[in-house]
């Protein structure tokens, strides 16, 4: 697991997430228990919208996008001068419980270390298996 130190990242007080259509809305309850504000795409009227539209919405609302759509969202992150951050689950077809088991250690780590995901991507490849890196590269 490659994790930048606090000095390598800015600190943000509250985490705001936008859960893409591939991520279960059931995670919102778990996230709220950790004092993380989260919305999901279908619940805010963005169901069926294009990835760039969702990306722009997240940017305007200072939300980190959580998705399983790695290819398209990583392309959007690389092409963005500034973005609130991206969390990618590197698997398709996970159940809500599996998604939470993958995401929970990341949320706990980011919150405990006060890591700001501004212009960073977190790639999760399994439970407790994740990397955090800058995108676009400095």
Report the distance separating Cα 38 and Cα 51, nearest Å.
18
As a three-state string, the secondary structure of 43-83 is HHCCCCCCHHHHHHHHHHCCCEEEECCHHHHHHHHHCCCCC
Number of H helices, E strands in the chain: 4, 6
pLDDT of residue 7: 44
Per-residue pLDDT of the chain (138 residues; tens, 9 = 90+): 555 544 444 444 579 999 999 999 999 999 999 999 999 999 999 999 999 999 999 999 999 999 998 888 888 898 888 999 999 999 989 999 999 999 999 999 999 999 999 999 999 999 999 999 998 775
pTM of this structure: 0.87
Return the bridge partners of 19, or none.
40, 66
């Amino acid at each position: 697991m490659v994790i930048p130190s606090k000095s390598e990242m800015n600190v943000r007080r509250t985490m705001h997430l936008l859960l893409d259509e591939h991520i279960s809305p059931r995670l919102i309850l778990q996230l709220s228990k950790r004092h993380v504000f989260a919305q999901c795409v279908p619940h805010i009227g963005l169901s069926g919208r294009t990835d760039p539209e969702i990306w722009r919405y997240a940017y305007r609302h200072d939300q980190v996008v959580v998705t399983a759509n790695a290819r398209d969202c990583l392309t959007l992150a690389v092409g963005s001068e500034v973005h609130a951050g991206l969390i990618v689950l590197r698997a398709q077809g996970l159940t809500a419980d599996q998604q939470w088991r993958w995401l929970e250690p990341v949320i706990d780590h980011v919150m405990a270390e006060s890591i700001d995901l501004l212009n960073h991507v977190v790639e999760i490849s399994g439970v407790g298996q994740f990397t955090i890196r800058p995108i676009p590269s400095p």
